[in-house]
Chain A
């Protein structure tokens, strides 16, 4: 690098640039948190939805599935599974309940988690709530 560009100048760009963009990022984060309520419909987060998120986490569902595109890519996207299963919580619960303990020979299979009826209802409610978040029309189609 030419000598007219000094180390001090480089350092100032680093400090100045970093501090400036940290402040911009914080301001945008503030703005985002102001706008989120109308996009995530948090008024619909019932105790059941909250329990559903806990069940989702405690069984490490993200280790195979994506949820709004984030997670593992081994099993289907679940952000729109509520619609994919015909807007039916019963279909979601039935699927989770019916997983064979020893899997399916040669195929990928979801483990049998032995969830209680309350937990099944909660996870279905959680996935229904998630499917109603404004995600700018993602995923592109019903297959996720």
Chain B
């Protein structure tokens, strides 16, 4: 069987997951543009789509499309790693539709009725879980997510456990189980705000600075094995070291969220020390990706995928690592906590680490899933690589402008001798919001180009042996 075809038929279920991920990504960016405009044009779409609704749609779509991407990645790579068909492709397809319909209904709910009405009709009073950042979904949706996650883990777990067990598939499975387990804390919502906040971070931080890094590492390792032909033993060792560094720094690194929310002061020391090391796993990912590509034993015809993989390493390090470190030490965070600095870090970290790894696996898998071959035509790849640069550079500028807004905000509102009120400060930094909006438009153009690249036909590039 040639490399150009799917090795296992059941890998095909990944395709609808990837298509849905891209579709929801478009929605996320659209609502990002709406919010960006509301920052400078306060009553834009008011009161039809108030800022809080647009933000909820923006962040929830992000989470959902990344989850679609992770699930698609698992369905694609687990059969190949386990050397067997997926336990149940039918279950995978059924769960796809359940998740998509539940997701779309939730978003429609956000947009169609006031949030308080949504809380009422979905029975939030029975088990109140709504109205907390990123966990705004109605309780019934959260239960749906748990059911989908359980079915998904059963399907993937059965495949992994009864097939060839590789480091990649076991690490991926560990990450996915962790994702599901930590999500259960979203059902814990005590009357005490401080306890609520403390354990809210067990979902949010232990996802993005914990178990998601396992998923990221596993997908990156899989793509690097496939595109560089480097020995699996070498890749496995890197993967272990990266995820070890991620968890050793990241678990106690949770402390950097506990400085100012009522927790004891010792978290200022613990959080500062451990989170200061959190860039290390991301730095190693960059070194890992570049090293493997330099050591490659073959010239993979899918150059776009290799670009995405290396880009993930660099941007994850910059966004999560460098921009995270910038405001993680307690004395700095005292002034930057909850400002545009946080927004700047959030944007580049999510794009660099998680959006880009999903786009990497999509870039690798899609040509095969569509029966095109190992890679898209050179013309299509050139457009895809243009979209990579447009989106990535635009995100760098979004981050830089938000950082500038944040530094100025901290100075005006919190640091100078006569601190200004919040809204007066916002007026002062508006120019940076305008610049951010322009960068956002460039990002959207990049995304349009990205989608366009899927429809470009042309001749298949041939694999060539690596130059000695």
Provided the pairs A1-B241, A21-B248, A68-B260 are in contact, do residues A59 and B51 lie with their beta carbons within 8 angstroms? no
Q: Is B299 an interface residue when CB atoms closer than 8 A count as contact?
A: no
Asked if B263 and A32 sit within 8 Å, CB to CB, the answer is yes
List B contacts of A74 (CB < 8 A): 35, 38-39, 51-52, 55
* Range class of the A interface residue count: 35 or more
Asked if A63 and B52 sit within 8 Å, CB to CB, the answer is yes
A45-71 contact mask (Cβ, 8 Å, vs B): 1 or 0: 100011001101111111110111111
Asked if B194 and A113 sit within 8 Å, CB to CB, the answer is no
CB neighbors of B among A63-112 (8 A): 63-64, 66-77, 101-109, 111-112
From DSSP, what is the main secondary structure of chain B's interface residues? helix
A22-44 contact mask (Cβ, 8 Å, vs B): 1 or 0: 10110011011101100110100
Q: Is B226 an interface residue when CB atoms closer than 8 A count as contact?
A: no
Task: Kindly state the separation between the CA atoms of A16 and B40 in the bound complex, as whole angstroms.
Answer: 50
CB neighbors of A among B86-117 (8 A): 115-116
- Which of B150-158, B392-400, B416-424, B460-468 contacts its partner? B416-424
Q: Is B188 an interface residue when CB atoms closer than 8 A count as contact?
A: no
Task: Kindly state the separation between the CA atoms of A74 and B402 in the bound complex, as whole angstroms.
Answer: 13
Provided the pairs A62-B132, A74-B55 are in contact, do residues A107 and B43 lie with their beta carbons within 8 angstroms? yes
List B contacts of A32 (CB < 8 A): 198, 258, 263-264, 267
**Selected contact of A130 from candidates B193, B420, B425, CB within 8 Å:** B193
Q: Is B84 an interface residue when CB atoms closer than 8 A count as contact?
A: no
List B contacts of A75 (CB < 8 A): 51, 422
* A residues apposed to B, CB below 8 Å: 1, 5-7, 10-11, 13-14, 17-18, 21-22, 24-25, 28-29, 31-33, 35-36, 39-40, 42, 45, 49-50, 53-54, 56-64, 66-77, 101-109, 111-113, 126, 130, 133-136, 138-144
Asked if B116 and A58 sit within 8 Å, CB to CB, the answer is yes
Enumerate 30 A-B pairs (CB-CB under 8 Å) in ascending A order.
A1-B234, A6-B237, A13-B240, A18-B247, A28-B270, A32-B198, A36-B262, A39-B264, A40-B195, A54-B125, A57-B119, A57-B130, A57-B189, A60-B136, A62-B52, A63-B50, A68-B338, A69-B261, A70-B338, A71-B133, A74-B38, A74-B55, A102-B46, A107-B42, A108-B38, A135-B261, A140-B335, A143-B419, A143-B422, A144-B422
Asked if B136 and A76 sit within 8 Å, CB to CB, the answer is no
Q: Nearest Cβ distance between residue B166 and chain A, in whole angstroms?
A: 12
**Selected contact of A76 from candidates B41, B259, B422, CB within 8 Å:** B422
List A contacts of B3 (CB < 8 A): none
**Selected contact of A73 from candidates B252, B265, B342, CB within 8 Å:** B342
* B residues apposed to A, CB below 8 Å: 35, 38-39, 41-43, 46-47, 50-53, 55-56, 115-116, 119-120, 124-125, 128, 130-133, 136, 167, 189, 191-198, 233-234, 236-238, 240-241, 243-244, 247-248, 251-252, 254, 257-265, 267-268, 270, 334-335, 337-340, 342-343, 413-415, 419-423, 425-426
Provided the pairs A62-B131, A74-B39 are in contact, do residues A39 and B194 lie with their beta carbons within 8 angstroms? yes
7 closest cross-chain pairs (CB), A and B:
A63-B52, A57-B131, A69-B338, A138-B260, A108-B42, A10-B240, A14-B244
Asked if A22 and B251 sit within 8 Å, CB to CB, the answer is yes
Provided the pairs A14-B247, A69-B338 are in contact, do residues A63 and B136 lie with their beta carbons within 8 angstroms? yes
